[in-house]
């Protein structure tokens, strides 16, 4: 895309007149419409020139919060970034993403570290003290990456549950996030992101559930759900 700083020009606004219904007329209108879109996009790109680490939050009840984070890991590795992933909830031991990225980590030593820290869903362990300890240990580890300017991307998968159950203090987490290196990106996932986290984030997506195969009786399928 162009780097021009020129705003959309008056010339790009189509004149209102008789409508030419030939193919050539339709094409001309399409081209004029696309030119206007391009002008708007170019102007927005010209206005966004700040370079810094961004804090991304993927929340909501829909599918895609963690998988989007794992897709960003692929992107970051494609740019030869150094990446650390800390998973705060261990739902099962046979996830495709962990298996895949463990292989990738072996192939690019020092570029990717992956930690599964949780003890399983809280309704599995039913031991609040143990869950809190596991979350605090995970945060101690995460904080090391958040203090390391050599790490370009930190993924904190399913972190939000730690706030829901009171395992971690939001203020302390926000302070550690704010103190991270200026160019370090962070992706946080999990349902019900607290307001303070949303306020601190640069990019927030609510993954809204429209429908889910599971509700229609389809088992959680390997390769898609885990």
Instruction: Write out the binding residues for a copy of itself, residues 84-123 only, by CB under 8 A.
Output: 92, 95-101, 103-104, 107, 121-123
- Residue 198: which residues within 8 A CB-CB, separation 6 or more? 57, 59, 204
Determine the interface stretch with a copy of itself among 14-22, 66-74, 138-146, 168-176 (rule: CB under 8 A). Answer: 66-74
CB-based burial, 83-121: b 16+ in 10 Å, e otherwise: bbbbbbbbbeeebebbeebeebbeeeeeebbbbbbbbee
Q: Does position 226 bind a copy of itself by CB under 8 A?
A: yes
| Residues 57, 185 contacting (CB under 8 angstroms) | no
Determine the interface stretch with a copy of itself among 13-21, 58-66, 140-148, 173-181 (rule: CB under 8 A). Answer: 58-66
Determine the interface stretch with a copy of itself among 13-21, 68-76, 142-150, 169-177 (rule: CB under 8 A). Answer: 68-76
| Residues 180, 146 contacting (CB under 8 angstroms) | yes
CB atoms within 10 A of CB 126: 10
Nearer to a copy of itself, 30 or 147 (CB): 30
Nearer to a copy of itself, 75 or 147 (CB): 75
- As measured in angstroms, the least distance from the Cβ of 147 to a copy of itself is 19
Q: Using CB under 8 A, which of 13, 14, 74, 175 touches a copy of itself? A: 74
Instruction: Write out the binding residues for a copy of itself, residues 126-165 only, by CB under 8 A.
Output: 126-129, 152-153
| Residues 73, 221 contacting (CB under 8 angstroms) | no
Instruction: Write out the binding residues for a copy of itself, residues 166-225 only, by CB under 8 A.
Output: 185, 187, 198, 201-224
CB atoms within 10 A of CB 68: 16
């Amino acid at each position: 895309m162009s780097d021009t700083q020129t705003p959309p020009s008056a010339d790009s606004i189509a004149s209102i007149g008789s409508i030419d219904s030939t193919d050539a007329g339709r094409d001309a209108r399409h081209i004029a419409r696309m030119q206007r879109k391009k002008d708007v996009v170019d102007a927005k790109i010209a206005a966004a020139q700040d370079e810094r680490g961004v804090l991304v939050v993927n929340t909501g009840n829909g599918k895609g919060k963690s998988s989007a984070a794992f897709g960003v890991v692929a992107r970051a590795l494609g740019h030869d970034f150094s990446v650390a992933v800390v998973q705060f909830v261990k739902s099962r031991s046979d996830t495709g993403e962990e298996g895949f990225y463990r292989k990738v980590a072996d192939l690019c030593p020092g570029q990717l570290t992956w930690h599964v820290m949780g003890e399983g869903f809280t309704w599995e362990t039913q031991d609040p003290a143990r869950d809190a300890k596991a979350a605090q240990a995970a945060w101690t580890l995460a904080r090391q990456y958040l203090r390391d300017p050599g790490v370009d991307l930190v993924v904190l998968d399913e972190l939000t549950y730690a706030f829901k159950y009171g395992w971690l203090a939001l203020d302390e987490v926000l302070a550690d996030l704010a103190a991270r290196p200026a160019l370090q990106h962070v992706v946080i996932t999990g349902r019900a992101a607290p307001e303070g986290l949303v306020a601190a984030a640069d990019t927030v997506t609510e993954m809204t559930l429209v429908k889910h195969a599971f509700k229609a009786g389809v088992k959680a399928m390997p390769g898609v759900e885990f």
